[in-house]
Structure formats: C-alpha cells, structure tokens
Chains A and B, each alone.
Chain A
Amino acid sequence: MAKQVITRRASDNAYLHKDFHGALSVGLEYLEEHYGEEAVREYLHRFARAFYAPLTGRLQQVGLAALEEHFAAMYRAEGAQPRTARTADDLFVEVDACPAVVHMRRHNYPVSRLFYETTRTVNEAICEGTAFAAELLDYDDETGRSIQHFYRRPL
C-alpha cells in the first residue's frame, strides 16, 4: 500500500462546511437539556450581540438595506433563493426552506426543537439598540421555511 500525501492551500477550496449546522444544533440541544430553554435564547442573544455588532452598526447607519444585503448573501451562499421586499420602514425576507435545516434533515442530524431561535432570537438581537425591530412571522420546523419581518419601531 503506497503512502498517500496531499497538500491543500486555503485558496484551493471555498469555505462552506454545512455539517457545522448539525454541530450547532447539538449544542442547542445540550444547552436546553442541561440549563433550560431560556439558556438557549440567552446564549444566542449574547452571541448575536457580540458577533453581529458590526452588522447592527450598519443597520443603525444605513437602515434596512444593510440587513437585506446580509440575509440575501447569507442564504445565497448556502444555496437558497431568498425573496426580499424592502421599503424605508419594512423589510421582509422569505425563504422556502432553511439551508441549515435541509442539510441536517438530509444527513439525519438531530434538529434541535429550538433551532428556530437561531432566526428569531438572533434577528431580534441584531436589531437591539437600533430604530428597528424583528419578528418571525412564520416558521416551519420541518423545512425551516420562514417569513422574517424587520420594521421601524413605532415612536
């Protein structure tokens, strides 16, 4: 049996490892089981406030166009075709299936009961401290199909 060797540079491949969705889902299940469902929301909230702080800053500066750009790029990168509709005060983001949920179902990875919080809680946290708010209008646990709404908070 010959010895096999391969060398790869980062630039040889695109960075897209969808199995990570399954690992995150296992993390959410673990949190819920050991610390309760509020811990899942608290963790996602803290993560989103910290990691998406630059996006929150752009939302504050340029408005909902920042979110439209972010979500359109994110879903397209994972193979989904999001539909967006935006005015100065509202943004709707609609996907027929969540690429994360589709990948996990296809590979029989466990899908956390609270996986929808990666959309609902994260979106709310991104909007926190800005003139905008988020609501999850519709979500299907089986496919992750969703309608996400971002809107200017009433004065």
Chain B
Amino acid sequence: MISCTDFIPAYSELFKFLEEQGGKEAVEGFWNHLSDRFLTNLRDLVAEHGIRGCWLYWNHTLNEEAADFTMELDEEAGVFRIEMHHCPSMGRLIQLDHIEPYHDYCRHCDVLYRRVLEPMGYKYEVDMSECHEARCSLTVSRPG
C-alpha cells in the first residue's frame, strides 16, 4: 500500500510518467479522465446545493489535507472563493529534496475543477502566479 500521505509525490511522478509515455496530451487526458471518473462528489454536491456545494466539498477535502487557507461563501452574490495560503500538496513537493515536482503540477487543479463547474454554468477562475511558492486562489461565481 502507498500511504495516502505519500499520494502527492506518487501523483506528481504519475504525471511525469504519463508525459514520458504520451507527451502533455497524455497528462491532460488523464486529468480529464480523473475529473469525469472521480470528482462525481463535487458534481453531485453542486447539483444539489448550488454554489454551497463548493463550500461543502472543499471544507471536507481541505481540512483533511491540513491546508492553510481562507474560504469564503457569499450565496447571495453567488461567489465562492479559496485563498490558499499554503497548499499542502505543492508545499509537500517543494519540501522534498530528493524528488522534483512535475513541472506543471498545479495546473491539474485548474483542469479538474473547471471541467466539473463550467458545464454546470459557473465561472471558474484561478490565480496560479504564486503556485511555485504553494500559494494560489480560486473563485467560483454564478453569473447573475
């Protein structure tokens, strides 16, 4: 068994392996597949609760991942936002001195969640300009 606490490096190495097998398209193909096959809980929560589903989903995952974050939900304005002060995934990868993170590691978050939320009518925006320092932000909004 690979411990769930060792998953992030395993994930990063999987991206490297896939890129070696089939280029960036192979990595992106996997991200699309993972979104379709595995993020059904996010899809179901948003379908049932609207934008509050984002709050319910990330409140569960980010607490279990021991992330350092601020999360805001304004249902009236139709806006959900996460300010990631220290991402537990990228933070872990940059801490390891014996393996290099996959060069485009953080982009999986953009692809996976956008693929769920945009077809449901939400606008999904991410700022990854500081992701190499394990900081990012995402905003999900429901157009008026």
- Residues of A at under 8 Å CB distance from B? 1, 3-24, 26-27, 30-31, 34-35, 39, 42-43, 46-47, 50-51, 53-54, 74-75, 77-78, 98-100, 109-110, 118-119, 122, 144
- Top 6 closest A-B pairs, CB basis? A20-B7, A17-B64, A15-B66, A1-B75, A47-B13, A20-B4
Q: Is the CB of B63 within 8 A of A51?
A: no
Which of the four size classes fits the interface of chain B?
A: 35 or more
Q: How far is the CB of A54 from chain B (nearest CB, A)?
A: 7
Q: With the chains together, A122 CA to B3 CA distance in Å?
A: 11
Query: Within B13-31, which residues are at the interface with A (CB < 8 Å)?
Result: 13-14, 17-18, 21-22, 26, 29-30
Chosen A-B contacts, 5 in total, with CB atoms closer than 8 Å, are A6-B71, A23-B11, A34-B29, A35-B22, A47-B9
Given the complex, which residues of A lie within 8 Å of B123, measured CB to CB? none
Partner of B76 from the list A1, A16, A18, A20 (CB cut-off 8 Å) is A1
* B38 (CB) vs chain A CBs: closest residue: A26
Q: With the chains together, A90 CA to B96 CA distance in Å?
A: 31
Q: How far is the CB of B52 from chain A (nearest CB, A)?
A: 9
Q: Is the CB of B9 within 8 A of A6?
A: no
Q: Is the CB of A5 within 8 A of B7?
A: no
Given the complex, which residues of B lie within 8 Å of A109, measured CB to CB? 38
B interface majority secondary structure: helix
* A9 (CB) vs chain B CBs: closest residue: B68
Task: Scan B26-66; emit 1 where CB is below 8 A from any A CB, else 0.
Answer: 10011001100110000000000000000100010111111
Q: With the chains together, A18 CA to B5 CA distance in Å?
A: 8
Q: With the chains together, A113 CA to B122 CA distance in Å?
A: 36
Given the complex, which residues of B lie within 8 Å of A4, measured CB to CB? 55, 72-74
Q: How far is the CB of B128 from chain A (nearest CB, A)?
A: 20
Query: Within B93-124, which residues are at the interface with A (CB < 8 Å)?
Result: 96, 98-99
Given the complex, which residues of A lie within 8 Å of B88, measured CB to CB? 10, 15
Partner of A77 from the list B3, B11, B61, B70 (CB cut-off 8 Å) is B3
* A33 (CB) vs chain B CBs: closest residue: B33
Given contact pairs A1-B76, A23-B38, A118 touches B7 in the complex (Cβ within 8 A): no
Q: Is the CB of A13 within 8 A of B1?
A: no
Q: Is the CB of B21 within 8 A of A26?
A: no
Given contact pairs A4-B55, A53-B98, A110-B37, A21 touches B7 in the complex (Cβ within 8 A): yes
